[in-house]
Structure 1
Amino acid sequence: MKLLGFDLSTRRGTIALVNGGEIVCARDWPNDRRNSAPFFAALDEIIRERGAPEAIVVGLGPGSYTGTRIAISAAIGLQATTGAAVTGLSSLRFVCNRAGLAFPKRNE
């Protein structure tokens, strides 16, 4: 399944496309909440190169209210045009998952 995830609630905007459990592409950038152009440029690039996602996971914060609103609006717009399933996830879970990948458990 092709899954697109993005989060704009923190100081770094992030977007990634996962297919079959493998990260196909990922982008991040300094998130200036007054300018959503980097997010939409990355989103456009990924969809043009890799096609529409089957599912979308959007970060729900805590964090920037404006960034969260932009991300949710983008997810709803993508759902309307692609039919992809959308779900929200705490941005803290994104951080924890990434930390688990970067810092494996001891003795493993």
Structure 2
Amino acid sequence: MVSRLLAIDTVTSACSVALFEDQKLIAQDYQEIGRGHAERLIPMIEALPNRGKAEKILVNCGPGSFTGVRIGISAAKALALAWNSELSGYQCLQLVAAQAQELAKNPDSIYVAMIGGHGEYFVQNFSASGEAKDALQSLSATDALGNAQSNRIAGNAAAALAELSPHFVTCNLLPKAAHCLLISEQDRYLNVAPVYGRAPDAVPAKAR
């Protein structure tokens, strides 16, 4: 029996979708749009074969744009309910690390840095095999540099950090739905919930 998987990625300035059949990519769309993911996502899915309908749906849960994270998850949940599809998620930095390792001639440990909020960066270290070596963090530029365990850095914040420390070898990347199967299978079955990567700006006042 043919099994289809729809992948959705909206957490950065890029909006992308991909449709797989028995783990083989059969259609995709990738657009760097900055904003407007909510208006662009559904038409992109509907343009896929059979309007993107699939038995499984995989969505990027973040971290990234607060709005983008919610758009992707909301769409994935709505489609999973309508199609009675299996739903699971993955984390943004995990995919960026996997994409960077796929491009490398000699994969080694890598540091992923993505643009966060309030001048901070989402960062995490990964091994050559793609396993996370530490926890996801949101750090200032100075702290992000000190947290690096590799001179290889990937992500949309790679160039900015490399300007502060020239010894980095950079790979400027955004996550792309068509590459989601590069992530290990166990890391593609995360609970679908927003990963914001940092504490909320507003904290409820303590009850008096």
Into which bin does the TM-score normalised by the smaller protein fall? 0.7 to 0.9
CA distance in 1, matches of 2:77, 2:71: 10
Question: Taking structure 1 as reference, are residues 92 and 102 closer, same or farther at Cα in structure 2, changes over 3 Å only?
Answer: same
Give the fraction of aligned pairs with identical amino acids, expressed as a percent: 27
Question: What is the alpha-carbon root mean square deviation over aligned residues?
Answer: 1.9
Cα contact 1:8–1:31 (8 A) shared by 2 = no
CA distance in 1, matches of 2:53, 2:77: 14
Moved over 6 A (4+): none
Could you tell me the TM-score, scaled by structure 2's length? Answer: 0.46
Cα contact 2:60–2:92 (8 A) shared by 1 = yes
| Residue in 2 that maps onto 1:60 | 61
Which ranges in structure 1 are unaligned for 5 or more consecutive residues?
none
Alignment partner of 1:16 is 2:18: yes
More helix by share: 1
Q: Report 1 or 2 for greater relative contact order, CA contacts < 8 Å, sequence distance ≥ 6.
A: 1
CA distance in 2, matches of 1:83, 1:94: 26
- Greater shift after overlay, 29-38 or 15-24? 29-38
1:15-94 aligned at under 5 Å gives the runs 15-46=17-48, 48-49=50-51, 52-94=53-95
Give per-residue Cα distances to partners, 1:25-80, cap 9 Å, x unaligned: 1111123334522211111111535x510101100111001011010110111011
CA distance in 2, matches of 1:6, 1:57: 6
Cα contact 1:33–1:66 (8 A) shared by 2 = no
- Greater shift after overlay, 79-88 or 38-47? 38-47
SS in 1 for 2:11: coil
SS in 2 for 1:61: coil
Q: Considering only CA atoms, is the larger Rg found in Structure 1 or Structure 2?
A: 2
Question: Taking structure 1 as reference, are residues 63 and 53 closer, same or farther at Cα in structure 2, changes over 3 Å only?
Answer: same
More strand by share: 1
Could you tell me the TM-score, scaled by structure 1's length? Answer: 0.84
Question: Taking structure 1 as reference, are residues 44 and 54 closer, same or farther at Cα in structure 2, changes over 3 Å only?
Answer: same
CA distance in 2, matches of 1:43, 1:16: 8
